[in-house]
Structure 1
């Protein structure tokens, strides 16, 4: 199994274009930029799938040799996209994939409905490509020997979809290699660590966790704006680390960092990090 982090930032990237908080100033000074959260996975190194499609997807694909087209004129190793939320920073990049001859997207019914009614992304895409939009069950098999298990972890709707009914708004994914049994969990939007999530990560080799905020009050401390990590649907790193420590056989790393989050270290991923 191959897992590469294409983008490691939350919505807006880092530095955020209109922010002069200390981490954004430091990112501009050092050139250590982060693009928005998207991960590429493959079971055989040939058939690749995207976990979400952020606004920076075009530049991320161009920076990843494994995702280059060929040998045919329109051949591409990208076989599809799995959406874990309906948020704009996880879905708007689908519009940049409209040149595809065929585009396969997997999403829960709630996410699919939001992207059809509240924001008609599906209808727009269907005008440009052969769009194969599929419901994402709790388990599916993908080309290349990957098995995907899905767990609903949150009920937060995007702002544009306020009032839209449904469940399964925020998902965590566990991808397992059919040949080796090795598994990877993607949970970059995690509002709370439940017993169900604890069981979901148990035995995984690697987990990419929600690293949006270091602490619950980070946004207010850094920018003076009201708001908490919990109120925005994110479990802060300081609260998830004790849970992760109860799984010593699993390596936990953090992605989806907000522009206000200055954390760094071996357990914080960057753009281009190879997890497997």
Structure 2
């Protein structure tokens, strides 16, 4: 299995275009940048799937040689997208994929309903691709290349645009082979613990360093609050992703390339 990190920032990226905070000023002054959270995975190196579809997707795809089109004029190794939720920074990239003739999109039934009503991505994108398939995830499923995916629930935080009564399964995580992807969650749950058993790598929510960093923004367990839970899984390599532009960990880093391979798993 191969994992390709395409972006690690929260909504708005880093630096955020309309923000003059110290964090964003530091990024501009030092030429640092992180695009919005998105990951690509493949079981055979030929068929690739995105975990979320960020608004920065075009830039991210162009930076990843594995995702380049060919050999046919309109052939692409991109087979589909697995959505963890319906937040704008995770679904707007679907519009950028509208030229794809075929694409499989996986999400909870609650998220699919929102993308058919409150934010009608499906009705807008389908006439362009004409070969898109939308799948509700309610149990394990297999992807091209032999990857087995186990979805698990991570909460009921809905996006601001969503309508009341749309459903409760808003946030999901995925266990794919030996990798766990859970970029957004408000609390550490038994379902997350279960998904981590036997995993080798986990990309988890690192939006905020501390709970008082942006207390008015719910749905994200801070790094300091999640760290004690990591000790229960000493064999797992944890990587924090979805870092907000306010997170001091960004300035402590030197930035990362737009596309970076974690490792072959």
- The aligned counterpart of 1:29 is 29
Task: Give the C-alpha shift of residue 11 in structure 1.
Answer: 0.4
- The aligned counterpart of 2:152 is 151
Task: Give the C-alpha shift of residue 81 in structure 1.
Answer: 0.5
- The aligned counterpart of 2:50 is 50
- The aligned counterpart of 1:141 is 142
For residues 29 and 136 of structure 2, what CA distance do their matches in structure 1 show?
44
For residues 260 and 62 of structure 2, what CA distance do their matches in structure 1 show?
15
1:161 counterpart SS class:
coil
Task: Give the C-alpha shift of residue 164 in structure 1.
Answer: 3.7
Q: 1:5, 1:270 within 8 Å by CA — same for their partners in 2?
A: no
For residues 124 and 174 of structure 1, what CA distance do their matches in structure 2 show?
30
For residues 26 and 112 of structure 1, what CA distance do their matches in structure 2 show?
38
Q: 1:8, 1:270 within 8 Å by CA — same for their partners in 2?
A: no
For residues 71 and 187 of structure 1, what CA distance do their matches in structure 2 show?
33
Which stretch of structure 1 is more off in the superposition, 255-264 or 84-93? 255-264
- The aligned counterpart of 2:108 is 108
For residues 246 and 107 of structure 1, what CA distance do their matches in structure 2 show?
29
- The aligned counterpart of 1:192 is 187
- The aligned counterpart of 1:217 is 212
2:105 counterpart SS class:
strand
1:111 counterpart SS class:
helix
For residues 48 and 152 of structure 1, what CA distance do their matches in structure 2 show?
23
1:127 counterpart SS class:
helix
Q: 1:254, 1:269 within 8 Å by CA — same for their partners in 2?
A: no
- Cα deviations by residue, 1:22-54 (Å, 9 ceiling, x for unpaired): 110001011110101110000011100000101
**Pair 1:263-2:264 in alignment:** no
- The aligned counterpart of 1:13 is 13
For residues 165 and 20 of structure 2, what CA distance do their matches in structure 1 show?
35
Query: How has the CA–CA distance of structure 1 residues 163 and 256 changed in structure 2, closer, same or farther, with 3 Å as cutoff?
Result: same
Q: 1:113-262 maps to which residues of 2 (within 5 A)?
A: 113-130=113-130, 131-176=132-177, 183-219=178-214, 227-228=215-216, 231-262=217-248
For residues 108 and 33 of structure 1, what CA distance do their matches in structure 2 show?
31
For residues 31 and 247 of structure 2, what CA distance do their matches in structure 1 show?
16
- The aligned counterpart of 1:275 is 262
Q: 1:207, 1:250 within 8 Å by CA — same for their partners in 2?
A: yes
Q: 2:63, 2:258 within 8 Å by CA — same for their partners in 1?
A: no
Q: 2:34, 2:256 within 8 Å by CA — same for their partners in 1?
A: no
> Which ranges of structure 1 fall in alignment gaps of 5 or more residues?
177-182, 220-226
Q: 1:43, 1:143 within 8 Å by CA — same for their partners in 2?
A: yes
1:274 counterpart SS class:
strand
- The aligned counterpart of 1:77 is 77
For residues 134 and 74 of structure 2, what CA distance do their matches in structure 1 show?
20
- The aligned counterpart of 2:59 is 59
Q: 1:15, 1:25 within 8 Å by CA — same for their partners in 2?
A: yes
> Which ranges of structure 2 fall in alignment gaps of 5 or more residues?
none
Q: 2:153, 2:191 within 8 Å by CA — same for their partners in 1?
A: no
2:117 counterpart SS class:
helix
For residues 101 and 54 of structure 2, what CA distance do their matches in structure 1 show?
20
- The aligned counterpart of 1:97 is 97
